[in-house]
Amino acid sequence: MSSNEFLSIKQRFGIIGNSPKLNHAIQVAAQVAPTDMTVLITGESGSGKESFSKIIHQLSARKHGKFIAINCGAIPEGTIDSELFGHEKGSFTGAYEARKGYFEVTNGGTIFLDEIGEMPLQTQARLLRVLENGEFIKVGSSKVQKTDVRVVAATNVNLLDAVEKGKFREDLYYRLSTVPIFVPPLRERGNDVDLLFRKFASDFAEKYRVESIKLTDDARHMILRYRFPGNIRQLKNLVEQMSALEMERTITADTLMKYLPQQGSNLPAIYKGGSSEGGDSLSERDLLYKVLFDMKKDMNDLKKLVHDLIQDGDVDTSVIEDNPNLFRNMDKTPALPQESSPKDFSEPIYINSAESDNDDSYDYENVHDITHEEDESLSIEEKEKELIIKALRKNNNKRKYAAQDLGISERTLYRKIKQYEID
């Protein structure tokens, strides 16, 4: 394929971008289009898979036939057979007249089956028969009918995993994936993000009759680094929002941040497999025990270090004489109570830093009792109650924000308020 032909395809179907993965997908679609081979298009939601099905249809000998795009996940399981293959009058409740299905209507054309992984197993068996023999039977009929339809399928899930889980037929998978085409996600297309932004900005400026928005260098750098989990669809919506709402047509990084959902950093958090309450992954009691005893152990290690320095003559011995209680029982390391010891703190999960990065979550000045003698009991309930009261006062009794400060769910906070009878 010449460069002029390649550019012509992009212009004809409105494809913006020059990334190698995108160009490869276009080339495969153009090469397979003149054949009648079944094609499976894979890629994340919003990456533009339907555009490739149109390329395949329009560049084929079937371009004068019908093209129908069907979202298999949007059709209820009880009616999808009727939608695809038709039904006879009286075949089920509500079937007041006979109806032609899509495979009959598009005879000589192309059917695009989007989200093929959502198709029920019973319908998969019917589809396999169409692909292998070009035959189908209407719901409520015994008559075999013929059809000449090219099938282009698409999915955003791993069909091989679905096959292993018994949710997708293995024979249908291999029949569909005669020619696989992978549409890359937006985050793997490099500078295509900037090209698409400018294209959408121009389109919406014309639509709303306003000046086109532009990005500053900092904003452009930010948008190129953003992962765009919603792909092209998300970028298009983002540009439309800013085009319609922003009075200032030059978009800065600060302005852009207001529209980009916060992805957060992958911070490890403590996790305990299984929770009897089904709410927070780790109970507040276990968390407090771990924090308190870790602090106690660190304090003992620090006292031992000071004591060793004193013994070596590096520090004045008056430190021990002036603080006899501080160095009492310093060699003893507290043990976690059996009934309250956390079971497993080794497995990490990930939380959004925006929900946990709060310097005011705990008032450590009021946890100084951790340096007292070993025989002094630690009242976790009192500390817990005290922290909850502080968080509520700080946030004017707004439980939502108090729960965020404490790092627990609002439901758990409500339960603790009732438990400790906090007014």
Cα–Cα distance measured from residue 300 to residue 112, given in angstroms and rounded to the nearest whole number: 69
**8-state DSSP, 139:** B
CA distance 208 to 102: 37
- 356, 362 Cβ separation under 8 angstroms: no
Asked if 213 and 248 touch (Cβ cutoff 8 Å), the reply is: no
Closest by Cα among 154, 228, 184 to 17 = 184
pLDDT values of the chain reduced to their tens digit, one per residue, 423 residues: 778 888 999 999 999 999 999 999 999 999 999 999 999 999 999 999 999 999 999 999 999 999 999 999 999 988 999 999 999 988 888 888 989 999 999 999 999 999 999 999 999 999 999 999 999 999 999 999 999 999 999 999 999 999 999 999 999 999 999 999 999 999 999 999 999 999 999 999 999 999 999 999 999 999 999 999 999 999 999 999 999 999 999 999 999 999 998 754 433 444 444 443 444 444 556 667 667 777 777 777 777 777 666 666 655 566 566 666 555 555 544 444 444 444 443 344 343 444 444 444 444 444 444 444 444 444 677 888 888 888 888 888 888 888 888 878 887 888 888 888 887
Q: Are 156 and 121 in contact (CB under 8 A)?
A: no
| Helix and strand totals (H; E) in the chain | 18, 11
> Do the Cβ atoms of 401 and 356 come closer than 8 Å?
no
**26: three-class secondary structure by DSSP:** helix
Give the sign of the dihedral formed by CA 186, CA 191, CA 196, CA 197.
positive
pLDDT at residue 341, as a whole number: 43
Torsion angle, alpha carbons of 55, 56, 61, 63, to 10 = -50
CA 368, chain centre distance (Å)? 42
Q: What is the DSSP letter of 266?
A: -
Q: Mark residue 249 as left, alpha or beta (left: phi above 0; alpha: psi -120 to 50; beta: remaining).
A: alpha
Per this entry, what is the length of the chain?
A: 423
In whole angstroms, give the CA distance from residue 104 to residue 138.
10
In the chain, the amino acid numbered 90 is G
Q: What is the C-alpha to C-alpha distance for residues 17 and 231, in angstroms, rounded to an integer?
A: 13
| Whole-angstrom distance, CA of residue 22 vs CA of residue 13 | 13
d(CA 270, CA 148): 57
- Per the CB < 8 A criterion, the answer to whether 396 and 382 are in contact is no
Q: Residue 85 contacts by C-beta under 8 Å, 6 or more apart in sequence?
A: 101, 103, 104, 126, 136, 137, 138, 139
β-pair type (150-155, 348-351) = unpaired
| DSSP assigned state of 342 | -
Residue 373, SS3? coil
Cβ-count burial of 128 within 10 angstroms (0-12 exposed, 13-18 middle, 19+ buried)? middle
Dihedrals φ, ψ of 68, to 5°? -125, 130
Angle between helices 399-406 and 410-419 (to 10 degrees): 100
User: Can you list the pairs that 323-328 forms with residues at least 24 positions away whose Cβ atoms lie under 8 Å?
Assistant: 325/373, 326/371, 327/303, 328/373
CA–CA gap between residue 118 and residue 167 (Å, rounded) = 9
Widest distance between CA atoms in the chain: 103
pLDDT of residue 64: 96
DSSP 81-147: HHHHH-B-TTSSTT--S-B--HHHHTTTSEEEEETGGGS-HHHHHHHHHHHHHSEEE-BT---EEE-
Distance of CA 328 to the CA centre of its chain: 53
Contacts of 404 (CB under 8 A, 6+ apart): 355, 358
Report the DSSP beta bridge partners of residue 269.
349
Taking the C-alpha atoms of residue 142 and residue 88, their distance in angstroms, rounded to an integer, is 10
